[in-house]
Amino acid sequence: MREIRAVFRPDRLHVLRRALRKIPGFPGLTVIEVKGFTAPALINNPTLQEELTDFAGKVMIYTIAADDMVDSIVDVILRECQTGLIGDGIVWSVPVETARRIRDGSPL
């Protein structure tokens, strides 16, 4: 089992949600609004405006999925959230030792 997280442009959320729902057995999603900035080394000639307003609104999603679903979920996130521009975001996964439903205590 793995937790998949991604931070990306908010305008990509609606298309991502639609695509993730098409994955058979997709476990669900948590969404939060976050702010962040791109690594300064990636910006060749930052303007004064970029220096003063470098925090951009982003969306972060979380999901916990079976190991055999991780690649397909990550692939969908990459495909649907990529614009090819600096600041598109990042996706990663980490192992999850245990997870249980609060409703009934059953393991995922």
**Domain map (residue ranges) of the chain:** 2-95
Q: What is the pLDDT of residues 73-100, one digit of tens each?
A: 999 999 999 999 888 999 999 999 999 9
Q: What is the pLDDT of residues 2-44, one digit of tens each?
A: 999 999 999 999 999 999 999 999 999 999 999 987 766 565 6
User: Cα dihedral sign for 70, 74, 75, 80?
Assistant: positive
pTM score of the predicted model: 0.85
Q: What is the pLDDT of residues 45-58, one digit of tens each?
A: 666 566 555 688 99
| Residues 6+ positions from 19 with CB-CB distance below 8 Å | 76, 79, 80
Task: Dump the DSSP string for 4-39.
Answer: EEEEE-GGGHHHHHHHHHTSTT----EEEEEEE---
Helix (H) or strand (E) holding 76: helix 70-81
The CATH architecture of the domain made up of 2-95 is 2-Layer Sandwich (3.30)
